[in-house]
Structure 1
Amino acid sequence: MTATVCTPPLPAALTARQATRMTPAVIVLAIAFVSFLLISNALGARVCEVTLPWSVRGEPLRLTFSAALISFPFAYLFASVLTEVYGYRISRIVIWSGLAANLVMIGFLWLMTLLPTEGAWAEQTGFTDEVQRHWYEAIAHMFLASVSACFVGEFANAATLARMKVAMRGRLAGLRIMLGSALAALLDTVVFVVVAFAYVLDLDAMARMAGLEFVFKCAMQWLVLPLTVGLARGLKRVDGIDHYDVGTSLNPFRFRASLPQPSADLR
């Protein structure tokens, strides 16, 4: 748990555009973030393996990874923009909303498995009650891993960006996003692989999967870094907001539904 940090006040020129209202851009970014979390949860139930044209100690080089790898980095893009422009408090609300949406989805999928399947349709499609049950168990397992990883990674990313922005007086946004995404990718990958595959893969396979996912996530997030920085700059200009989390508590459980209000110490 992180206590409220007392930070020297920033120059008035840097604190004149605090987040004091909800804008359409916040809603769009929140929808995009939640959408990619839901997509990643659905894709995460499949484990993929690619055999490369190289060998290691006489064995073909195989890369094992979760299919969610192709979608999950985009969730960090939208979360980083939210924190950079609108601040940690709004980002915290959006992250919790994404986790809640995943919980609602998994709950309705569970209800679906309780309903009996029509016989002719099941025979034609092969999607029998037993297949549905196994499919749901895989989804539920990946849901637990995804939510655990998202909780750790997303809040680590948001907290890092918020503190570094204040410390760096708003400069070098690209560097902040790179460092925040790298830390988040490391924590997210380790938690996801351990929770999802501890009883499925051996330690060597888990290590290779974690290494591949970490490198790929960092590469993807750094590849779209110009888009992330450009989007953040554009929203700052359009909405007239550039929030600094001076003295903001980074406790993820300190939920506040209201937007931050300006005050003398910007708390």
Structure 2
Amino acid sequence: MRRQYRYYDLILAAFVAVILCSNFIGAGKAATLDLPYFGLVVFGAGILFFPISYLISDVLTEVYGYAYDRRTVWAGFAALGFAAIMVQVVIHLPVAPGSYMANYQQGLETVFGNSWRIALGSMIAFWCGSFVNSYVLAKMKVWTQGKYLWARTIGSTATGELVDSSLFYMIAFYAVWPTAEIIQVAIAQYILKTSWEVLATPFTYWIIGYLKRKENEDYYDTNTNFTPFQLKVDR
């Protein structure tokens, strides 16, 4: 019988919430930030919250192992798929008469009209980047015998985010935004999200330490089947 954990389900729910909100609320807006030495930097607004998903993924892999994070990634993937379908259904439903609903419909189409591409880009980039992140962290934990947690969390995030950033903006916004802006935003997103992980390292240490004590778990993926196409936890 598979072992039951006190906090895993809560962490999974938090992961799904972060994925949905960061991809649908923040992804479509290009924001700016004036940084010292760098000047005006353009970035996707979702970058402020999406890195939390990588932090959660690192925590899940470090404490519970790759197989539990794999289940979480698939839950987030399914939630994104459902949200994308729901958005398209809502947009294409006939609009009730009246100026208010006409304006409301226009607003929905402005915000979510490109949602199918955002959802497609989000799902592909998120799925690929998340599994790369979890795989690298799990393998590094075995290689380092559980040492250098900071190097494992930052290294795995930098690798996963590189895959994610390389895929998402080209899929979601090619021919919608100017290509130069897509590249600029993608690079800024990668740098800022990886930097976010570095700054969050003390909190990552704390939450991992807390969960390891409370769950009495510190799993090493020595004999794990790393295929992403599986939901079963073989322990």
TM over 0.5: yes
What is residue 42 of structure 1 aligned with on the other side? 24
Q: Does structure 2 conserve the Cα–Cα contact (< 8 Å) formed by 1:33 and 1:75?
A: yes
**Secondary structure in 2 matching 1:24:** coil
* In 2, Cα distance between equivalents of 1:28 and 1:250: 24
> Which runs of structure 2 are paired with 1:48-197 in the superposition (5 Å)?
48-50=30-32, 52=34, 62-120=40-98, 122-123=99-100, 126-128=103-105, 130-197=106-173
C-alpha RMSD over aligned residues: 2.3
Count of residue pairs brought into register by the alignment: 235
| Greater share of residues in helix | 2
Identity of aligned residues (%): 27
Following superposition, the deviation at residue 132 of structure 1 comes to 3.2
- Identify which of 188, 200, 203 aligns with 1:212: 188
Post-superposition Cα deviations, 1:212-251, rounded to whole Å, max 9, x if no partner, equal 1111001111111111121111111111111111121221
* In 1, Cα distance between equivalents of 2:81 and 2:230: 20
What is residue 9 of structure 2 aligned with on the other side? 27
Q: Which has the higher contact order (CA 8 A, sep 6+)?
A: 1
Identify if the C-alpha distance between structure 1 residues 169 and 176 changes in structure 2 by more than 3 Å, giving closer, same or farther.
same
Q: Does structure 1 conserve the Cα–Cα contact (< 8 Å) formed by 2:70 and 2:231?
A: yes
What is residue 7 of structure 1 aligned with on the other side? none
Counterpart residue identity of residue 226, structure 1 = P
Identify if the C-alpha distance between structure 1 residues 88 and 171 changes in structure 2 by more than 3 Å, giving closer, same or farther.
same
Identify if the C-alpha distance between structure 1 residues 194 and 162 changes in structure 2 by more than 3 Å, giving closer, same or farther.
same
* In 2, Cα distance between equivalents of 1:103 and 1:36: 15
Q: Does 1:260 align with 2:234?
A: yes
Following superposition, the deviation at residue 125 of structure 1 comes to 7.4
* In 2, Cα distance between equivalents of 1:46 and 1:95: 22
Counterpart residue identity of residue 260, structure 1 = D
Q: Does structure 2 conserve the Cα–Cα contact (< 8 Å) formed by 1:44 and 1:142?
A: no
Following superposition, the deviation at residue 149 of structure 1 comes to 1.0
> TM-score, normalising length from structure 1?
0.80
Counterpart residue identity of residue 91, structure 2 = T
Q: Does 1:247 align with 2:223?
A: yes
Identify if the C-alpha distance between structure 1 residues 167 and 55 changes in structure 2 by more than 3 Å, giving closer, same or farther.
closer
Q: Does structure 2 conserve the Cα–Cα contact (< 8 Å) formed by 1:47 and 1:64?
A: no
* In 2, Cα distance between equivalents of 1:45 and 1:75: 14
Gap regions ≥5 residues in structure 1: 1-18, 262-267
**Secondary structure in 2 matching 1:50:** strand
Q: Does structure 2 conserve the Cα–Cα contact (< 8 Å) formed by 1:50 and 1:63?
A: yes
Consecutive aligned runs of 4 or more in structure 1 exceeding 6 Å deviation: 53-56
Gap regions ≥5 residues in structure 2: none
Counterpart residue identity of residue 208, structure 2 = A
* In 1, Cα distance between equivalents of 2:35 and 2:216: 52
**Secondary structure in 1 matching 2:41:** strand
> TM-score, normalising length from structure 2?
0.90
* In 2, Cα distance between equivalents of 1:113 and 1:23: 40
